[in-house]
Amino acid sequence: MAKEGADMTEETQYMIDRNAGKEGVSVESPSNAKEMRAVVLAGFGGLNKLRVTKKAMPEPQNGEVKIRVKACGLNFLDLMVRQGNIDNPPKTPLVPGFECCGIVESVGENTQGFEIGDRVMAFMNYNAWAEVVCTPVDFVYKMPDEMMFAEAAAFSLNFVAAYMMLFEVARLREGMSVLVHSAGGAVGQAVAQLCSTVPNITVFGIASCFKHASIKDSVTHLFDRNTDYIQEIKKISPDGVDIVLDCLCGENTGKSLSLLKPLGTYILYGASNMVTGETRSFFSFAKSWWQVEKVNPIKLYEENKVIAGFSLLNLLFKQGGYNLVKSVMNKLLSLYEQKKIRPLVDSLWALEEVKEAMQRIHDRGNIGKLILDVEKSPTPLMANDSTETSEAGEEEEEPEGDNDSKERMPFIH
């Protein structure tokens, strides 16, 4: 059994269980409906660019399935998309979101392997945050019977990315050591769980201090993101580590490279450091790139170090890697069925609460994954005032230590 990170909070668990009660029901098929609700990003920028509007009902094309969506994953990447903090941003308005799950409502012509009523999860090249989506079968996977929709929406992106970095790129093996940033986040917790499926792996995790109590059992050593983690790790492991997973970029790139053992692998897979304020900052962008050390292949050769990059969405949607991803997904679903991995859900939000949910990830408040629950009604207390007391009328506990999450949403932890 994998060591799990933080247990889900009672409230989140309650909401998931409540969802589970709905899961046996057949597809409600307002098949004559011409419209559906979706989150729309009107233009790149702040939270005010997001709204929920009606859009035309999509219909499946050749080789596509139409999915009545139950839940969608909200990722840090969605925050970067909102800000326009990505390469080659698409035109706005657009419907954000890269993953969702739900029930197959109809199938297009020449669509094989899926039937109406199948419970599925899917990667989307945008357009996931909607009541109904259509997508080619190459990006769709059947959910295990016991998997709940909130879990399915928290599964695909994090676990596939974590698995491919650890096992396809870095070749994780018994006895190795791994450094992971944002260890309390969705990818971070997937990394921690997957590492626990291999014997004798040492995981060095970095996270905001207030998350430590919740996630300490999921990693071997945990450090506050504000400490000099390089020195702390070198005290424990003077030779450094075998694998560094860097989703921060900027100054962390040079630091991480200095920590690599000979034959160690550094993987860059994100650039969270570029997010500072509510909108894109050219200063943060420039600083981040400026701080990335110039990579000198001769130095790599002399030091026996491997540098890699990983982008799951590019692999899936630009580089035709969907068959490889499908085989990885099969392995992951097998691990899930053996109860060796289980996504950690932070909280569930209505589509109309997307701004609050995004603010939570921006404020570093999440432990695990944020989910947009398509059938959830907005909770006015949460939507309007995060400083009030909880629904149960209890005072919110102050998180311990240095907590950059500031005001945390009342119902969640």
Binding interface with ligand NAP (CB under 6 A): 75-77, 157-158, 161, 182, 184-188, 207-208, 211, 225, 247-248, 269-270, 272-273, 275, 310-312, 361-362, 364, 366, 404
Query: Least separation, in Å, of the C-beta of 225 and ligand NAP?
Result: 5
Question: What angle, rounded to 10 degrees, do the helices at 251-259 and 282-291 form?
Answer: 30
**Which C-beta is closer to ligand NAP: that of 36 or that of 77?**
77
Q: Which amino acid is at 215?
A: I
Q: What is the distance between the alpha carbons of residues 200 and 406, in angstroms, rounded to a whole number?
A: 36
**Which C-beta is closer to ligand NAP: that of 246 or that of 373?**
246
Residue nearest to ligand NAP (CB): 185
Strand partners, 309: 268
Give the residue ranges of DSSP H helices in 164-215: 186-195, 212-215
Which runs of E-coded beta strand occur in 92-219? Answer: 99-107, 119-123, 132-136, 140-142, 177-180, 202-207
Query: Least separation, in Å, of the C-beta of 188 and ligand NAP?
Result: 5
Query: Least separation, in Å, of the C-beta of 35 and ligand NAP?
Result: 30
**Which C-beta is closer to ligand NAP: that of 319 or that of 389?**
319
Q: What 3-state class would DSSP assign to 255?
A: helix
Is residue 161 within 8 Å of residue 269, measured between CB atoms? yes
Contacts of 330 (CB under 8 A, 6+ apart): none
Q: Kindly state the tokens that stand for 72.
A: 């969608």
Q: What is the distance between the alpha carbons of residues 252 and 265, in angstroms, rounded to a whole number?
A: 15
**Which C-beta is closer to ligand NAP: that of 74 or that of 333?**
74
Query: Least separation, in Å, of the C-beta of 79 and ligand NAP?
Result: 8
Question: What H or E segment, with its residue span, contains residue 65?
Answer: strand 64-74
**Which C-beta is closer to ligand NAP: that of 38 or that of 248?**
248
Query: Least separation, in Å, of the C-beta of 152 and ligand NAP?
Result: 16
First and final C-alpha spacing in the chain: 25
**Which C-beta is closer to ligand NAP: that of 12 or that of 272?**
272
**Which C-beta is closer to ligand NAP: that of 119 or that of 221?**
221
Is residue 119 within 8 Å of residue 101, measured between CB atoms? yes
Within 13 Å, how many C-alpha atoms sit on residue 98's CB side?
A: 21
Query: Least separation, in Å, of the C-beta of 394 and ligand NAP?
Result: 24
**Which C-beta is closer to ligand NAP: that of 75 or that of 127?**
75
Query: Least separation, in Å, of the C-beta of 84 and ligand NAP?
Result: 14
Q: What is the distance between the alpha carbons of residues 119 and 102, in angstroms, rounded to a whole number?
A: 6
Q: What is the distance between the alpha carbons of residues 250 and 286, in angstroms, rounded to a whole number?
A: 9
Query: Least separation, in Å, of the C-beta of 272 and ligand NAP?
Result: 3
